[in-house]
Amino acid sequence: YDNMAQNCLNENLLFICIGTSVVLGITLGLALRAFELSSDTVSLLQFPGEIFMRLLKLMILPLVVASLISALAQMDAANSSLMGVVTLIYYLVTVFFATLLGIFLVLTIHPGDPRLAYGLPVVEAHKISALDSILDLIRNMFPDNIVQASFERSRTVHRTNVVARNNVTIQEITKEVSDQRGMNIIAST
């Protein structure tokens, strides 16, 4: 009986670990909502997840290209040409619908309209923080796109939002990670 339980545990270990992690993450997230955490604490708590997502994004393109090349190498010429035609039709249909969606959204929400810019964030000079610099350094070690890493780097930017409420002007400073021009020397070596 012990051997059967051990085999069941070994076969379902990944499922058990994922389920336990989800329950632990939800519990920890709900428990931490009760506390007033600073923005630095929140950024430190979300940092491992951000690095994990960057690594997943980094792996997607090479994995898809390798699997496509492997699948095409195993097919004969007739199936390969049929797959090429189906892929081309799929691409044209998705581009058509994406274009329609883009035109619809441009006509409805008017992006870039200067009248809508009131109350949007104003970019200020970068305030240097040791914590932000260290996190940016680690972020740049794990780019989410290897091609993009050759001409852009991640950097934490402080933005000041000027909000007018009830005849009172409030300045809210928020941090966000953005990609800026310049070679990512850490990830390119």
**pLDDT tens profile 41-68:** 888 888 999 999 999 988 988 898 898 8
- Using the predicted structure, report yes or no on whether residue 19 has a pLDDT greater than 90: yes
Please state, in angstroms and as integers, the Cα–Cα distance from residue 185 to each residue in 88, 92, 150, 178, following that order: 37, 37, 8, 17
Mean pLDDT of the chain: 83
pLDDT tens digits for 133-187? 888 888 888 888 877 778 888 888 887 777 777 777 777 777 888 888 877 666 5
Q: What is the mean pLDDT of residues 6-35?
A: 93
| Residues 172/183, Cβ–Cβ less than 8 Å | no
CB atoms within 10 A of CB 37: 13
R_g (Cα) of the chain, nearest Å: 24
How many Å apart are CA 130 and CA 158, to the nearest integer?
Answer: 14
- Name residue 159's beta-bridge partners: 123, 174
End-to-end alpha carbon distance in the chain: 53
169, β-bridge pairs: 164
Token pair 């680690």 in the structure block, residue? 138
Summary count for the chain: helices (H), strands (E): 6, 3
CA 81, 82, 83, 84 torsion-angle sign = positive
